Amino acid sequence: MTIDFSRFYRYEELSSLLQALVSEHPDLLRLESMGRSFEGREIWVVSLTRFATGPAEEKPALWVDGNIHAAELLASTAVLYFLDHVLKHASSDPLVSHLLDTRAFYLVPRLCPDGAELALGDRPRHIRSSTRAYPFEDVALDGMVIEDVDGDGRILSMRIADPNGGWKPHPIDPRVMIPREPGEIGGQYYRILPEGQVLQHNGVGFKLNPDREGLDLNRNFPSDWRQEYKQQGAGPYPTSEPEVKAMVDFVVRHPNIGAAVSFHTHSGVILRPMGTEPDDKMIPEDLWMYKRLSAAASEQTGYPALSIWHDFKYHPQQVISGTQDWIYEHLGALFWVVELWAPNRAAGIEKYPFIDWYREHPPEDDLKLLKWSDEVCGGQAHVDWKSFDHPQLGPLEIGGWDRMNFWRNPPPALREAEVARFPGWLKQLAAILPKLELLVLEVRSLGEATGALHPPGARHYLIRFAVENSGYLPSYVSRRALERKTVRGVIVECFPLTTEARALTREDSATLAVRAKQTVLGAADPLGDELFDAQSRPYVRCMSGTQRLEGPSLEGHAAKQSLQAFLPDRALTAQRYLHQWQLAALPGTDLEVIARTERAGIIRRSIRLD
């Protein structure tokens, strides 16, 4: 299946494309709907791993999503590009092959299918997210409604000559409109309006109506949710919107997700938590890790890596929440937001303030952008002004910057190159996730088990079971996860493999963990339990230790300090954990030992007592 990265796929095309990829790669892909959108479209999630080496749920996982905002369509392309990259290199790239064997990816190309479909329509509308009316269902009766009034498939700007207007043509190139200087008089001035209709125009003034679809799905997550008067578009209550509820439910059901990336547009930056508090409120160890990993992200992609709180506020007195706050602050998994694409940078504008630039910037920047439009974009990023007889406002001109097709998203010829920056970084994120590995598994026979407690022929055995975390990150991923108690230490357990238990090993690990309780080892206290009936279940008695135990969390191999530090790191083997069972059992008994953590995967081994 060939994916055309120069175009944006509509919902039916995207669904067919994903289904075709799954048909071509059944060994690597599973496709499921994690829920339905407001209008009833499926929200597809692709599970990507080599299933022959284990189910996705039993491997450390990276979550990657895109297009939670309706018109940010390049975000879908970024997810598809990564999926395509992994499939094409599954056999030829040793790192990709290793990741498919040992990690899992959950990929969601389009979290907001309804809004994206509206943006891709023949006469597009650009809303923030969902198509559900919010906060009220009333249809506008007066004022301006933004829409494509001349039917050319674009939503541009309208300019009207006005001696009291706030805009004027640039003296070097009059196609570009720049702000009128304070106190300036005597020139040709214009009023600039968004392209749209004016309802019930009184001939003098009108308001700009907000979108009837006023939701912002990225403000609907549970962490630091606030009502409309404090945070626009947040919805009536946390996870009120089906798209967000579907994602939250899926992530909670998959605690193996240790890191996540959400693609947006635009600004050409990588953003890290926190969004609602400054860095000095973050757990220091997490902040150090975030800075180290964000610097690596910047090196891999060429995008600057910033703090949302310190470097990417829309207003200095405004705090916004989003997916990053819920994933990191509630769950303790790592999270980054990628704002794809920076037309300013493409035009040669460097070292500009990412948010403040849109409020005010030098007129010379507009000339650089116009030159870029002419030379790179065929004159389409900035559309020459043309006369139009507006049904309510009369003669005016339509033109200016095509923000949807060249600002919010790059032009077709530049799309693939922009998203091609990211597979290397995403692979690195997957590679640093914690991963349980078997270190030691040995059985020692300690001699005959004598006494009335044991059947004839029983023997004492010592089982030594040691595991280690081979990943860069600790098994808990972040200190926030420990603080919020969303993860546990490594769980080790041992139980006899009856016929029933052997069947259970083919089921998912959650079911196995529950039903294994019914196949427990005998207690060391002879007064508390009957011996197992050797004809129905093998005789096994735990003489020391417990069948299931929560051990410590396991550190990763990330350096905690430099080799020049004054005091050495005392946790020299904190990546490893050893557990021992002393059992009484009959020779020939089959056992299964398991080690598992929420975020570092699971190890299962069968052993026979000789």
Domains belonging to the chain, first-starting first, are 11-121+214-341+411-431 (3.40.630.10), 143-211+374-404 (no CATH), 436-608 (2.60.40.10)
User: What confidence tier does 530 reach under pLDDT thresholds 50, 70, 90?
Assistant: very low
Mapped onto helix, strand or coil, the DSSP state of residue 59 is coil
Q: What are the distances in angstroms from CA 427 to CA 103, 263, 335, 602?
A: 10, 15, 15, 21
User: What confidence tier does 250 reach under pLDDT thresholds 50, 70, 90?
Assistant: very high
Closest CA to 382 of 396, 398, 360: 398
Number of CB atoms found within 10 A of residue 413's CB: 11
Given a contact cutoff of 8 angstroms between Cβ atoms, the answer to whether 477 and 487 are in contact is yes
User: What confidence tier does 126 reach under pLDDT thresholds 50, 70, 90?
Assistant: confident
Q: What is the pLDDT of residue 317?
A: 67
DSSP symbol at 26: T
For the chain, the distance separating the N- and C-terminal CA atoms, rounded to the nearest angstrom, is 52
Instruction: Name the one residue in this structure whose structure tokens are 């009369």.
Output: 394
Lowest mean pLDDT among 45-59, 288-302, 464-478, 524-538: 524-538
Q: What is the pLDDT of residues 331-380, one digit of tens each?
A: 999 999 999 999 999 999 988 888 889 889 999 999 999 999 999 999 99
Q: In the predicted model, is pLDDT for residue 184 greater than 80?
A: yes
Q: Which tokens hold the place of 572?
A: 């020299």
Partners of 66 in the β-ladder: 263
Q: Which tokens hold the place of 45?
A: 């999630």
Residue-by-residue DSSP string for 131-145: -S-BS--PPP-SEEE
Q: What is the pLDDT of residue 245?
A: 98
pTM listed for this prediction: 0.91
User: What confidence tier does 510 reach under pLDDT thresholds 50, 70, 90?
Assistant: very low
Helices (H), 349-478: 363-376, 412-419, 423-431
Lowest mean pLDDT among 20-34, 35-49, 543-557, 590-604: 543-557
Distance between alpha carbon 105 and the CA centroid of its chain, in Å? 10
Q: What is the pLDDT of residue 537?
A: 63
Q: What is the pLDDT of residues 423-460, one digit of tens each?
A: 999 999 999 999 999 999 999 999 999 988 899 999 99
Given a contact cutoff of 8 angstroms between Cβ atoms, the answer to whether 40 and 381 are in contact is no
Q: What is the pLDDT of residue 495?
A: 86
- Element (DSSP H or E) covering residue 438: strand 436-448
Helices (H), 110-256: 113-119, 242-253
